[in-house]
Homo-oligomer: A and B are copies of this chain.
């Protein structure tokens, strides 16, 4: 069901130095290269590893402002058409339906506070959305991480 210590060490190693290959991993972990390959294959097919795509930093692209916006949805509209509307806005990085009276929480980025206003205007410019409440992120105290969780799952 879950993962073991070798899986966790393998993932930590790849997170640390993503460009090293399977052979190099086997040397660092003192196991056969076939073992590393088998572990990686299993982790991938089980969905633990989604992929090795490039991680983009929105701030480096000029989108230095992050905000969390809670949307109140009109009951007459479902979530899906609203989600479809949000999906068309590039600055909406993710969106979740949350507990409460038909609400959505989404993460939005913008080039500046003024630009954030433009993005929010575009978000709420849809009749299914009744109200939006915006929370601006001032500082990133803990950047997105999963490694501690991997270690936790292995123990």
Residues on A facing B (Cβ under 8 Å): 1-3, 11, 14-15, 18-19, 46-63, 66, 68, 79, 83, 86-87, 89-100, 104-107, 109, 135-146, 148-153
What CA separation (Å) do A60 and B150 show in the bound complex?
11
Report A38 CB to chain B, min CB distance, Å.
16
Please name 6 pairs of A and B residues whose Cβ atoms are closer than 8 Å in the assembled complex, sorted by A: A46-B60, A58-B146, A87-B142, A95-B140, A96-B138, A99-B136
Q: Are B141 and A18 in contact (CB under 8 A)?
A: no
Which single member of B60, B139, B146 contacts A47 (CB below 8 Å)?
A: B60
Pairwise interchain contact B60-A48, C-beta atoms closer than 8 A: yes
Task: Check B142–A56 contact: CB distance below 8 A.
Answer: no
Known: A142-B95, A146-B93. A57 touches B48 (CB 8 A): yes
B55 touches A53 (CB 8 A): yes
Q: How many copies does the complex hold?
A: 2
A142 CB contact (under 8 Å) in B50, B57, B106, B140: B106
Q: How far is the CB of A99 from chain B (nearest CB, A)?
A: 5
